[in-house]
Structure 1
Amino acid sequence: MTNFSVEELCTLHTSLSKMDVERIKEVSGNLPLIADLNQANVFVDCPTKEGKHAIVVAEAAPNTAKSVYQKPVAGKFAYEAFEPAVLYTLRTGKNMFLNRALTQEGKTVEQSVVPIKGSEDRVIGALIMEKDISEKLQRQLKLEALSEATETLSGILIGMAENRPIIPEVIEESLFFIDQENKVVYNNPSATNLIHEIGKEDCRPGVLLIDCFPCIQEILNEPEELLVKEMKMMNKVFRVKKISLDVDGKSNGTFIILKDLTELREKEREIVVKSVAIREIHHRVKNNLQTVASLLRLQMRRGVPEESKVHFVESLNRISSIASVYEIILSSSSVDEVDIYSLIEKVGNMLVHEAKHEQKKIHIQYKGPKILIDSDKAVSLSLVINELIQNCVKHAFKQMHEGKVDVCFEYSNDEIKVEVIDNGEGYSPNAKPSLGLDIVKMMIEHDLSGHFLIKRAETGTIATVQFPFERKEE
């Protein structure tokens, strides 16, 4: 496998960046050494654009041992049904060692998978090592699972020995076992029910499966021993699995497994429609809030009493902080979740910018991990953060022209903790109660089921907000 071939496969089948592709090429260049050192076949798989499967972009067979594969697999897809460890590692970034797996040529191997990470610690691929299990074990498995006689296959694989079905009788999927001529040898009860649903009298042994399902011919013509494909038949959507039982190049029959995905796909379609509707609602709410804010600004430009101006500004900031929630949702791929860091940063920067008009130089910085919360919680939190930072801007630096505000948040023990710290004049417990702090207490206690504490520090004030990540049932 040349570097150009790796780049070509990544470009055609994945969404990796150029930097990520270079990282994959770098790892792929070491595969021959890794294969010889471990006496094993090694591969690099990358997630496809759709994210449902993986694509083999590079491979190497050992010169120090017999290869597990007779045919190249680079360029073939790895399906989750047959490669669960690979897809698990790609999605979670976790290692999988000494996992028993079935290769695309039907051989049992010992498989280990580790993630390949790119920039920002993102998983961009998986490095896979597959070792052939001992010939003795392979021989035993073949004798048990791949007998050349159809009658033995029925007894061992289909579970008809002693008239006691083992697995196929209870699974929901419709299972057919066909011989080399594509004639039905066995079908389970679910398959029988499916035959009746399509108006066929029966699918008895000896009947061609394509007589009942003409579309199956397409998947039977594919050369792959293991194949998963989604197909439309009889106004329904099915996931079709083909498992060919080949020994030394000779076919011992094929399993065809059908699963009805119609209801699942319909629910997915409904979710997409609902997601679009939710985003449209968010868009309208944001527009309405911006309209209200524009009206307030227009009124302020036309003139308001000086004693009322501060109340207009506070109301304008509250409306703008709520609008920030919906702006963040609409600018992200999430349907109804908001990143806390982005929200706090947007609200804080807006308030500090307002402070510049009062000839105050306030420095603000933020610290915290990426945490997503529901939009309803985000609205309450945005108002809380607005009031606390606005409180710093308005009261902490009355006698100062320059100040500093730190906004820190963290997630621990299923709770989110936010601290707003300033180096201003310091909070006085005897100060007159303000509407802003009343809003904070109300939002924290009633909307977020949490608690609020504000205290004087050695220099300035520390305001602490703490609430459960998941709202408790009332």
Structure 2
Amino acid sequence: MPSLSSSLERVGMPAVDADWLHHLVGDWQLVSDLSFADLVLWVREPDLGTWTCLTHVRPNTGPLVFYEDMVGQPAGPRRAQLLVRCLAEGRLVVEERPEWLNDMPLREEAIPVVRDGRCLAVMTRHSNLGAMRSPSRLETTYRATADTIIGMIATGDFPQVSATADRRRGTPRVGDGVMRLDLDGIITYASPNVISSLHRFGEHGRVLGDYLSRIVTEGIEDRSVVEESLPLVLTGKAAMRAEIEGSGTNLALRSVPLSDNGERVGALVLVRDVSELRRRERELLTKDATIREIHHRVKNNLQTVAALLRLQSRRVDDDLAREALAEAERRIGTIALVHDTLSRTIDEAVDFDDIVSRAFASIVEVAGRGAAVTGEFEGSFGRVAAEDANALAMVVTELVHNAVEHGLDGNGGGVVRIRAARRRVADEQRLTVDVEDDGAGLPEGFSPGRSGLGTRIVSALVQDLRGWIRWETRRSGGTRATFEARLRPITGTERVATM
């Protein structure tokens, strides 16, 4: 099924016109919901002269018309005549005879989509006549508002780009609540959902016939923090969004100025109670701040432990004991580095390349003991879940430390290289890491299970990463340790960024 962008490119639609159609499609759910009707966008194929459906939207407020998606389908002869007539006359055209679909009578209307006086495409509106009944005031208001917006599409006054560019979380929809304002900002109609929302906001009087600006102004609790767009939203003079808070209720407002042949006739205001949504967001922000603070305190405590070990090692005369304490201090420092990185992020994942770079430079400098050791880093670890970060950091730093201290020991220096690569296997991420040096190679009779503590730690942690590890002597000299880890999925990312 072709996308809207690819279809517009195929028919050679200029970029500015294509952008206009994208804005229309980004906001036409509003028109479909107000109309209780399906909307279909058609464009004429430049070479064939036929009409093709670009995209299709169904209403959320009533029964749909087309169960199958219309995208990519050509217009039949009867519909093509309607589209050609609409394009030629540049106005809304109604099919005189109802169309029948699965024993369902349909009313079909063609609307020119105009920008700067030019018709870019034709939009059809399909209403189910079989579902028609004596309309309530709500339905009458909805359809009258939809007809006004349809007229604005035909004159190039809709979509309103400033509104569709704002993708704020919690944007109100027609089903959430609808108000109509006159030219002075007086409420001439309010759906039951709107009246209930305003009552929760603190308004206990009559809503109809009152100024929306008066109701909101008296209900706002903190007047020191008011969005700049709020006055324009409350009077319906601009296509904008704003949010208000009062009596423990958060309301999201969106205004859609309405016009007739370019002359403003009032506004549509959509209202949504987003109190629960904002409460959950505040909980997430508090939770994230708490988690970051915990990581920060763990890092501080680990650094304190490392400092105590360093002090203790200075009072020990036995060289082996002093070396063991130094090893413990280094390992604790690695874990502290991970928690320091986690304390700086809003989610439970880390950019592991940053951890490796910081730890790599430190290990090469300390373990090299003044020798000319060069560290090289190729590839990328990417983002790693917190559950894997500590184990992965310990494995990499142990392997690097062993390469510097043992592989290059006595060689007067050399090169230690880390090479990382990720790939997707089925539904999981696999990470393969090589740590190699150009030193003396593996010692005679090397066995990971019977070697030093560092090797045994690495083997145990790789198992925790659900992976494997092997050591080998490089043909060109030196040692290569290769391990693979099956990374856990990262959860909870971008929670706050999308709010």
In structure 1, the residue matched to 2:115 is 132
TM-fit CA distance, 1:225: 3.0
Cα deviation, residue 400, structure 1: 1.1
Structure 2 counterpart of 1:353, one-letter code:
E
- Structure 2: gaps spanning 5 or more residues: 1-13, 30-42, 44-53, 56-112, 128-137, 148-172, 220-229, 491-499
Which residue of the partner structure matches residue 379 of structure 1?
390
Shift of 1:241: 0.5
Contact residue 408 and residue 437 of structure 2 kept, 8 A = no
Could you tell me how far apart the structure 1 residues matched to 2:199 and 2:485 are?
56
Residue among 410, 415, 440 paired with 1:425: 440
Equivalent residue in structure 2 for 1:225, among 231, 235, 238 = 238
**AA in 2 matched with 1:174:** G
Shift of the 322–187 alpha-carbon distance from structure 1 to 2, 3 Å rule, reads same
Q: Which residue of 2 aligns with 1:190?
A: 193
Q: 1:416 aligns with which of 431, 435, 438?
A: 431
SS in 1 for 2:439: coil
Contact 1:39/1:131 (<8 A) preserved? no
Give a deviation string over 1:237-270, Cα, whole Å, max 9, x none: 2111000111333223311111122222222222
Q: 1:201 to 1:311 in 2, by over 3 A?
A: same
Q: Which residue of the other structure, out of 396, 401, 420, is the alignment partner of 1:390?
A: 401
Q: How many pairs were matched up?
A: 341
1:440 match: 458
The residue type equivalent to 2:283 in the other structure is E
Sort the Cα spacing of 1:429 and 1:278 in 2 relative to 1 into closer, same or farther, 3 A: farther
Q: Distance in 1 between matches of 2:119 and 2:206?
A: 41
Any idea what SS the aligned residue of 1:426 has? coil
Q: Which runs of 5+ in 1 are unaligned?
A: 1-37, 44-67, 69-77, 85-97, 101-129, 145-149, 160-169
Letter paired with 1:282? H
In structure 2, what is the equivalent of residue 236 of structure 1? 249
Is the 2:466–2:485 Cα contact (8 Å) retained in structure 1? yes
For residue 241 of structure 2, what is the amino acid of its counterpart?
A: V
Task: Identify the residue that residue 451 of structure 1 maps to in structure 2.
Answer: 468
Task: Please give the secondary structure, in 2, of the residue aligned with 1:226.
Answer: coil
Deviates more, 1:341-350 or 1:404-413: 341-350
Structure 1: which 4+ aligned runs deviate by more than 6 Å? Answer: 81-84, 137-142, 150-153
Determine if contact 1:176/1:255 at 8 Å carries over to the other structure: yes
State the superposition RMSD in angstroms. 4.1
Q: Give yes or no for contact 1:423–1:461 (8 Å, CA) kept in 2.
A: yes
TM-score under structure 1 normalisation? 0.61
Which digits, 9 at most, give the CA deviation of each residue in 1:310-351, with x for residues without a partner? 222221211111111123334x44454322112112222222
Q: 2:294, 2:27 → 1: CA distance?
A: 41
- Give me the whole-angstrom Cα distance separating, in 2, the residues matched to 1:39 and 1:276: 43
Residue 482 of structure 2 aligns to which amino acid in structure 1?
T
CA deviation after TM superposition for structure 1 residue 210, in Å: 5.6
Given that residues 255 and 268 in structure 2 are in contact (C-alpha distance below 8 angstroms), is that contact kept between their aligned partners in structure 1?
A: yes
- Look up the match of 2:363: 351
- Aligned runs of 1:64-463 on 2, under 5 Å? 132=115, 135=118, 154-157=142-145, 172-180=175-183, 182-194=185-197, 197=200, 200=204, 203=207, 209=212, 213=216, 218-219=231-232, 224-330=237-343, 332-357=344-369, 359-369=370-380, 371-413=382-424, 414-428=429-443, 430-431=445-446, 432-446=450-464, 448-458=465-475, 459-463=477-481
Does the 8 Å contact 2:233/2:253 carry over to 1? Answer: no
TM-score, with length taken from structure 2? 0.58
- Give the letter for the 1:155 counterpart: R
**Residue in 2 aligned with 1:166?**
none
CA gap of 1:195–1:230, structure 2 versus 1, over 3 A, is: closer
Choose between structure 1 and 2 for higher RCO, CA contacts under 8 A separated by at least 6 residues: 2
Q: Does the CA-based 8 Å contact 1:40-1:131 persist in structure 2?
A: no
Matches within 5 A, 1:2-17: none
- Which structure is larger by alpha-carbon Rg, 1 or 2? 2
Aligned equivalent of 2:46: none
Distance 1:139 1:282, change over 3 A: closer
Cα 1:155/1:290, change in 2 over 3 Å: closer
Would you say the 8 A contact 2:376–2:418 is kept in 1?
Answer: yes
> SS of the residue aligned with 1:398?
coil
CA deviation digits over 1:282-323, x for unaligned, max 9? 222112111111122112222331232322222121111111
- Give the fraction of aligned pairs with identical amino acids, expressed as a percent: 24
C-alpha displacement at 1:422, in angstroms? 0.9
Aligned mates of 2:453, 2:183 — CA distance in 1: 81
Change (3 A) 1:221 1:286: closer
